[in-house]
Amino acid sequence: MSPEVLVIGGRGRVGREVLRALQLTPAKVRALVRTPGTLPHSVAGDLGDPASLRAAMDGVERVFFVTPHDPAEQQLGKNVIEAAHDAGVKRLVFASAYHADVTSRLGLSLFVGLMSLLTHYGPKLSVERHVRLAKAMSPVVLMPSNFYQNDELFLGEIRAGVYPQPLGTKGVNRVDCRDIGDAAARALTDGSVDAGGYPLVGPEPALTGPACAAVWAKVLGREVVYDGDLERWYALMADRMHAREREDFRKTYKIFRRMRVAAKPAEIEKCATLLRRPPHSYEAYVETVAKA
């Protein structure tokens, strides 16, 4: 019998791609939503309500989840892990964020401690650590880099000739959310996928802000200049992002502007192995959006 899969966060950039990719498999899928009826085959629930998570996981063998930019992110993630444990879930898949894959228990604890001191990624990495330690659920952690789809927050500005995302000039790896969805669907439905961490990265090791602008210029056939002003971007996003998410993004961009965050060839290869094809290039993504 097909496994029953629960997807949490299915209305978001990543979750909607996981649902799309699962539709191509025989899996029976259920989506947990905060607002009843907003997705097909959905159940109402909230990460902050453990009873709703337990009810949503009744009969479920596999669970995919993301955690939101929320002051209680760590607790919200732990609620999922506990509910999944109680429900006897056999595979737990968590989409975290891109970083070096640290596998030993001690290394992981040290890494999470250090990252919590130096960055705002502490809560997410703490959830990731708990997922990885939940060995009975054959856990898979996807570690995606900066989403190509972030560009869809400011398509109007791009079409008007300005690329506003302040990625800086050092270079950062970027990935297509469709690849994250395909990778998650495989991890959820293919028992041959080993537990562990998987970098979800694009094929170009690193893209700079000006390089992204140049790709848009090429595809649109018009001038697109890189703005790069962090505070101008922050003001632009005032009514396009939740306050906490906008704040976290600003902190992330400050890191990108100081240091290069490039994917290593072995990480790109590991991602391609999980996808069973190369990850989509940034230019291919931009072409798809431009055509749409």
Ligand X SMILES: NC(=O)c1ccc[n+]([C@@H]2O[C@H](COP(=O)([O-])OP(=O)(O)OC[C@H]3O[C@@H](n4cnc5c(N)ncnc54)[C@H](OP(=O)(O)O)[C@@H]3O)[C@@H](O)[C@H]2O)c1
State the residues that interact with ligand X by CB under 6 A.
8-15, 34-35, 46-48, 66-69, 76, 95, 97, 144, 146-147, 150
Are 98 and 206 spatial neighbours (Cβ–Cβ below 8 Å)? no
Report in angstroms how near the CB of residue 287 gets to ligand X at its nearest: 20
Residue whose Cβ sits closest to ligand X? 12
Report in angstroms how near the CB of residue 46 gets to ligand X at its nearest: 4
In the complex with ligand X, the residue whose CB is nearer, 189 or 252, is 252
Report in angstroms how near the CB of residue 201 gets to ligand X at its nearest: 11
Give dist(CA 110, CA 38) in Å, integer. 40
Length of the chain: 292
Report in angstroms how near the CB of residue 38 gets to ligand X at its nearest: 7
In the complex with ligand X, the residue whose CB is nearer, 76 or 224, is 76
Report the run of H or E that residue 60 belongs to, with start and end.
none
In the complex with ligand X, the residue whose CB is nearer, 251 or 277, is 251
Structure tokens at 120: 């705002």
Residue in the block written with tokens 């902050």: 48
Closest CA to 145 of 256, 63, 21, 257: 256
Are 200 and 143 spatial neighbours (Cβ–Cβ below 8 Å)? yes
Give dist(CA 92, CA 17) in Å, integer. 17
In the complex with ligand X, the residue whose CB is nearer, 9 or 209, is 9
In the complex with ligand X, the residue whose CB is nearer, 137 or 167, is 167
In the complex with ligand X, the residue whose CB is nearer, 6 or 14, is 14
Report in angstroms how near the CB of residue 174 gets to ligand X at its nearest: 8
In the complex with ligand X, the residue whose CB is nearer, 142 or 193, is 142
Are 128 and 74 spatial neighbours (Cβ–Cβ below 8 Å)? no
Report in angstroms how near the CB of residue 9 gets to ligand X at its nearest: 4
Report in angstroms how near the CB of residue 191 gets to ligand X at its nearest: 25
Report in angstroms how near the CB of residue 221 gets to ligand X at its nearest: 27
In the complex with ligand X, the residue whose CB is nearer, 222 or 240, is 240
Q: Could you give the dihedral angle defined by the CA atoms of residues 146, 206, 156 and 284, in that order, rounded to the nearest 10 degrees?
A: -100
Q: What is the maximum alpha-carbon separation in the chain?
A: 55
* Phi, psi torsion values for 200, nearest 5 degrees: -110, 100
Residues 6+ apart with CB under 8 A from 291: none
Give dist(CA 169, CA 227) in Å, integer. 11
Closest CA to 282 of 198, 143, 178: 178
